[in-house]
Amino acid sequence: NAGVTQTPKFQVLKTGQSMTLQCAQDMNHEYMSWYRQDPGMGLRLIHYSVGAGITDQGEVPNGYNVSRSTTEDFPLRLLSAAPSQTSVYFCASSYSGDSAAHYGYTFGSGTRLTVV
Partner 1 sequence: GNSVTQMEGPVTLSEEAFLTINCTYTATGYPSLFWYVQYPGEGLQLLLKATKADDKGSNKGFEATYRKETTSFHLEKGSVQVSDSAVYFCALYAGGTSYGKLTFGQGTILTVHP
Q: How far is the CB of 97 from partner 1 (least distance, A)?
A: 3
- The answer to the question of residue 2 lying near partner 1 (CB under 8 A) is no
The helix/strand/coil state of 53 is coil
What part of residues 39-78 is at the interface with partner 1 (CB under 8 A)? 40-43, 45, 48, 50, 58
Of 2 and 98, which has the nearer Cβ to partner 1? 98
Pairing state of beta strands 106-107 and 87-94? antiparallel
Interface size with partner 1, residues (CB under 8 A):
28
Give the Cα separation of 42 and 27 in Å (integer).
26
Of 63 and 107, which has the nearer Cβ to partner 1? 107
How would you class 34 by CB atoms within 10 Å of its CB: exposed for 0-12, middle for 13-18, buried for 19 or more?
A: buried
- The answer to the question of residue 89 lying near partner 1 (CB under 8 A) is no
- The answer to the question of residue 109 lying near partner 1 (CB under 8 A) is yes
The helix/strand/coil state of 3 is coil
Of 92 and 113, which has the nearer Cβ to partner 1? 92
Answer yes or no: are the C-beta atoms of 84 and 36 closer than 8 Å: no
Beta-carbon contacts of residue 9 (< 8 Å; ≥ 6 apart)? 109, 110, 111, 112
Q: Kindly list the residues in this chain that would bind partner 1 in the complex (CB under 8 A).
A: 4, 31, 33, 35, 40-43, 45, 48, 50, 58, 90, 92, 94, 96-98, 100-105, 107-110
